[in-house]
A and B are shown apart, each in its own frame.
Chain A
Amino acid sequence: MKRRFRWSHGHQEVDADVQRELDFHVDERRREFAAQGLSSTAADRAAIDAFGDRSHIESEVRMLRRETVRSRERRSHWHDIRQDLQIATRGLRRTPGFTVVALLTLALGIGANSAVFSVVDGVLLRPLPFPASGQLVQLWSDHRARGRAEPEWLTPPDFADWRDQNTTFSSMGTYQNWGPTLTGAGEPAALNGLAVSGDFFRTLGIAPELGRTISSDDDNPGVEPVVVIGDALWRGRFGGDLTILNRQVQLNGQSWRVVGVMPPSFRAPLPAPIAVFRAARRPAGTCGRGCIVLRAVGRLKPGVTLAQAQADIGGIARHDATTFPATNKDVGAWLIPLHEQITGPTRRPLLALTTAVALVLLIACVNLANLLLLRGEARAREFAVRAALGAGRGRLVRQLVTEGLLLASIGGVLGLAVAAAGSHWLAAVVPPIVQQLQGVNLSAAVVAFTAIVSIAAGLLFTLLPAVRSTGYDQLGLLRSGLRAGSPHRNRIQQLLVTGQLALAVILLTGAGLLIRSLVAMERVDLGYRTTGLLFDIVTLPAAQYAPATITPTMNTVVDRLRANPAVRSAELVDQPPLSTGDQDMTAIPLGEPFDVDAPPALWYRSRRPGICD
């Protein structure tokens, strides 16, 4: 203790110390010369001469001395911290019950926060895995004025107008689902495919791993049919063979030349991984402004905002609406940033979860503050003794805070383990498309977040008890040996308990509301009874079942089901009732000529009469 006070000097003290030391030398030397018989002025002169260049030496010594003082202060600082940590460790070991409860509380509280943050970080904060992905926008047509609340796909002529007339996009690409059957390479397989425009890959900004992507030339009628395949199909079906390029593959019984392979990291912005891409190759004039078949993605020019783009494309759509009122009346443009398009649905549940786990940690901190306050009371004598031995109040507070931070750090490390386990489980709340594109893992950001949360929690639950526990008459307590709590402290404790209750009520109310809406969702009247109702998907590969055989085959399946004594009735449907994903088609009135600009599409579901039974 004493030593430290000696070393904590400012520059002025250091300089005075050096001057005093050198003055002593010169003075001693002068006395020696005087003792040898020199006159007082001559002795002065001789001593100064013998010393040498005083100002130079003095400034050199001053600098050295400052360095020494600085490094000793640093060392003594570390020494104090080490001592605090040793005392803290001993203190925690002495009360294993408290330590275990505190660590478990912290591990769960911090772990829950880290787990939720790992999802928030992976899903909401990280950009999509495309170059300059902030520029990517999903393009929809807006049918809200016609009573359809969801954004709708585009028609080829509308898209062509948007692509050709806009001033805010550097490129736009379209894509449509395509489900070809692969034959001639092992077992026939139904593939997830996309028919894309020549600008699709350029818009996303992803280069192929091998060969090339689909280009605009592939879209021309009459050119050779080519495909680009995904990495998974290339490795899974073709063994990652480099000679895959220019090889012919059989899709839907037709021959296609493979011209490229996409890198493994590439994912189209769609729920299912895509195995194969072909050019859209839509014969001109067969699909008009009533034919809603395209999905489109665009890349904004650098520096263009979403609002500017929305105004730009909206203007084109309005112009089309007045030019082609039969099909385009009340149809607008609806631009959604691709990141929001993909992660949007997860935002609300994640925010709710974030709030909930933050509340849980707050409750945990209040709980621990309370425990520490009680512990502080039990340790009042220890503090009194240390205070009597010369430890200042600051030092005692620091000791308690060190204990809290030590607890919080260990809790944080345990919390990371909890988060590692929890984030996998939490990832289930994230739709698969988001998981595939973004991924949820314990990144450096999550570790940093955990560290910050741990330290904040540690300070939160120790500072108040630390200040309270050390803030009363230490010596009086030591003398009396009493352990009476001050009325002041009781008030603090009451406040803590009240706060804890309030937080718990908020959390419980939130959880209750969540459960109530879940229960309400379960009880929604679907219009039909779901008890005993089973649903399954039957797929018939096109390669093995000619179109003419499909209906008889499906009828056989249904007949066999009906023959089963456990089944009361069975029927076929193309989509389960109340699911999304309608088929759409263009309705052509019977007996009238086919008109590519026919009035709008119908959304339909095929069903058979027995489905309502």
Chain B
Amino acid sequence: MSDVFIVGVDMIKFGRFPDRTVPDLAAEAALLALDDAGLTIRDMQALYCGNLGQASGMVGQRMLAEIGQTGIPVVNVANACATGATAFRDGWMSIKAGLYDLVLAVGVEQMGKGLLGGGGGVSPEGLIGSGTMPAMFAHIGNEHTRKYGTTFEQFAKVSVKNHHHSTMNPKSMYRVETPLQEVMGAEMISFPNTKLMCSVNVDGSAAAVLASEAAVKRLGLMDRAVRIRNSTMTSNPFEDRQMAMPDFSGATRLAAKVAYEAAGVGPEDINLIELHDCFATAELVHYENLGICKDGEAGRLIDEGVTALGGKVPVNVSGGLLSKGHPLGATGIANIYEVATHLRGKAGQRQVEGARLGLTHVVGGGPGMGTACAIHILEKV
């Protein structure tokens, strides 16, 4: 099987674009990625398009109607917060399978403000606990506190770090420093997650052009190529407490184990990570799930700056979902853009020096839904 490479990758600056359409947002990222590769839509043999909000709306075909209808197969995918990464992985699989040499993966989302969910119909909200995302991830943080004594302040430091990182990322939704007291003093949504510890609902898109090794060599694109060392997906393995609190750790731990083994590397080899910081509480839990520290050490990592830019394993130098923003279907490709940009040495002020191996992680789901997790390990060529 051929190695698979990213030869073009980009994202739009995340923001709020209520007057634009979903296919239009997707098209912008697609053209940016194609330009980055020096290729056109005519060179693409298939399109994998991820979007949640219009999952039944043929977003991929509508995007091609804007940028060129060449008749290629289009697969539209929806997979919670792993939607973009799922589209990317489908493209990777198609090249691995030997079907195609060059494919395009796009992730896109247009979102409203405020809490996700809460649509019509009789709701048990408030009477049988809460089905809001901040409350679910509050439980996950509170469980960490139960096990290891992790404090509100330690969770809040995640937001301070990621907001700081975003000041160096011109494609981030927000680029504002948020000191610890401001994070802890912000409106309490679900303890311990304050408003500044919740990811930002934004509109956005990201895209990547994937190529087989033969295509990279034929087209002379090795100078811009990033090798996909591994692509792994999991769903939530059975967990005892899953009906009372959705489980995002089991799927992440399983994916990390499979990905490290398949890539022949360990967490100690990874130079930077973009992980799924949908809430500040989630980031600390995923330090342990991804194996960058032992169970119970995540609080120490954030205290000691290990995961800040300049630390041993910088995490979410893009600003993460907390500050860059979290357009659900785009997130899984946007974090691949971030890591690939560092591996190419083109991340400017926020560059992780000497980055050779990077990891991206997304995990999504909801109450009673289950979990989708994707991990990609990317390598400098």
Do A and B pair up? The answer is no
- Residues of chain A touching chain B, judged by Cβ–Cβ distance below 8 Å, are none
